[in-house]
């Protein structure tokens, strides 16, 4: 039943509902470079949905795309390697049923199994899929000490994802090592730093990203929320001062979700206890609203 004040919770339906969007919670907290409680993020996102309305005053339209909620995976006590299989399987099942799968982490380590699950669902080799990251970091740490939230891009490269199929947007100054930047460029990544983004414009940068990936058959997008300026999202342990404005992050979410080749996205690196207020939760909720708006745009074409 629709509530008196229509809100995002009205668009949430059981997992077996026919819906263009599938929601999968992956409360993974293990293996973080900075210990925290990113595993609490899926529940925090669901908890704020009733505060996010459906009506967009700018477009004078109301959100309508249904979301089939597949619930949270039981990842408690699992390390990244142990959680990889369940996340991969859940994303694979969701991608087969929905136009867009939204994977809510959890640490950034969910990105690798999310992309692998998407590729498997569509029967694609890694050479046929692309990865776009909106992230302050390259996530190209070494694998010597195992999987972590600091090396999902490195791990995907080792899995066989070609560097030319990777676009990294929003890299922040004084937040990365030279070796990671050099490895990304040598591997063929398209790198769009935060300064590049400001100079080009967000939508222009995204258009360049999708143009770069025009040869792939499906795209996974990693929305690492620490790309946002820390003053606008204090609940991200890796966020920096001077990051992307929240409004640009929202614009990116809507535009990318509107692209039919984008089949799965994630939201990662939100540590709810770091923000005793509600700013971070409301920002994450608005992000989901923008994703739904993008899917509405996609379906209306």
Give me the number of domains the chain comprises.
1
* 210 within some domain: yes
For the record, the structure tokens of 85 come out as: 């299989």
φ/ψ of residue 152, rounded to 5: -65, -35
> So what's the pLDDT on residue 1?
45
Task: Give 285: exposed, middle or buried? Use CB within 10 Å, 0-12, 13-18, 19+.
Answer: buried
* 1 within some domain: no
- DSSP-assigned letter for residue 295: H
Give percent above pLDDT 90 in the chain: 94
Pairwise CA distance, residues 38 & 226, whole Å:
12
Q: Does residue 156 contact residue 112 with C-beta atoms inside 8 Å?
A: yes
Task: Give 123: exposed, middle or buried? Use CB within 10 Å, 0-12, 13-18, 19+.
Answer: exposed
Side-chain half-sphere of 240: how many Cα atoms within 13 Å? 15
Pairwise CA distance, residues 248 & 277, whole Å:
22
The closest of 290, 296, 289 to 9, measured between CA atoms, is: 289
Q: Mind listing the pLDDT tens digit for each residue in 149-200?
A: 999 999 999 999 999 999 999 999 999 999 999 999 999 999 999 999 999 9
The closest of 89, 54, 64, 62 to 74, measured between CA atoms, is: 89
Give me the mean pLDDT over the 41-58 stretch.
97
Please report which residue ranges of 98-131 form alpha helices under DSSP H.
111-122
Q: Mind listing the pLDDT tens digit for each residue in 255-267?
A: 999 999 999 999 9
We report the CATH number of the domain holding residue 192 as 3.40.800.10
Domain residues for the domain of 178 are 8-300
Torsion of CA 53, 57, 59, 60, to 10 degrees: 90
* 20 within some domain: yes
Residues ≥6 apart with Cβ < 8 Å to 213? 130, 132, 165, 167, 219, 261
The closest of 247, 250, 246 to 236, measured between CA atoms, is: 246
Give me the mean pLDDT over the 136-142 stretch.
96
Q: At what angle do helices 80-97 and 111-122 cross, to 10 degrees?
A: 40
Pairwise CA distance, residues 301 & 49, whole Å:
27
Q: Does residue 66 contact residue 13 with C-beta atoms inside 8 Å?
A: yes
Q: Mind listing the pLDDT tens digit for each residue in 196-242?
A: 999 999 999 999 999 999 999 999 999 999 999 999 999 999 999 99
* 2 within some domain: no
* 3 within some domain: no
Task: For the chain, give the mean pLDDT.
Answer: 96
* 53 within some domain: yes
Pairwise CA distance, residues 22 & 70, whole Å:
7
SS3 176: coil
Pairwise CA distance, residues 130 & 264, whole Å:
11
């Amino acid at each position: 039943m629709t509530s008196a004040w229509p809100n995002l919770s009205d668009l949430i339906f059981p997992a077996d509902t026919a819906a263009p969007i599938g929601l999968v919670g992956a409360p993974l907290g293990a293996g973080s470079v900075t210990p925290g409680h990113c595993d609490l993020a899926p529940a925090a996102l669901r908890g704020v949905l009733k505060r996010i309305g459906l009506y967009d005053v700018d477009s004078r339209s109301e959100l309508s795309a249904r979301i089939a909620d597949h619930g949270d995976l039981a990842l408690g006590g699992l390390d990244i390697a142990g959680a990889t299989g369940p996340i991969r399987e859940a994303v694979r099942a969701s991608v087969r049923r929905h136009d867009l799968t939204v994977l809510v982490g959890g640490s950034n380590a969910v990105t690798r199994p999310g992309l692998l699950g998407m590729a498997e669902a569509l029967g694609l080799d890694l050479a046929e899929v692309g990865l776009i990251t909106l992230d302050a970091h390259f996530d190209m740490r070494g694998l010597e000490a195992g999987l972590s939230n600091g090396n999902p891009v490195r791990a995907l490269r080792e899995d066989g994802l070609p560097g030319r199929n990777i676009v990294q947007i929003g890299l922040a100054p004084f937040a990365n090592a030279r070796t990671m930047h050099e490895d990304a460029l040598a591997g063929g990544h398209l790198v769009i730093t935060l300064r590049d983004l400001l100079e080009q414009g967000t939508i222009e940068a995204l258009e360049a990203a999708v143009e770069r990936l025009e040869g792939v058959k499906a795209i996974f997008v990693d929305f690492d929320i620490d790309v946002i300026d820390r003053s606008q999202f204090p609940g991200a342990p890796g966020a920096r001062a001077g990051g992307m404005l929240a409004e640009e992050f929202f614009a990116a979410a809507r535009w990318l979700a509107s692209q039919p080749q984008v089949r799965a996205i994630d939201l990662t690196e939100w540590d709810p206890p770091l923000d005793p207020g509600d700013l971070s939760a409301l920002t994450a909720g608005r992000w989901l609203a923008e994703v739904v708006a993008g899917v509405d745009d996609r379906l209306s074409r």
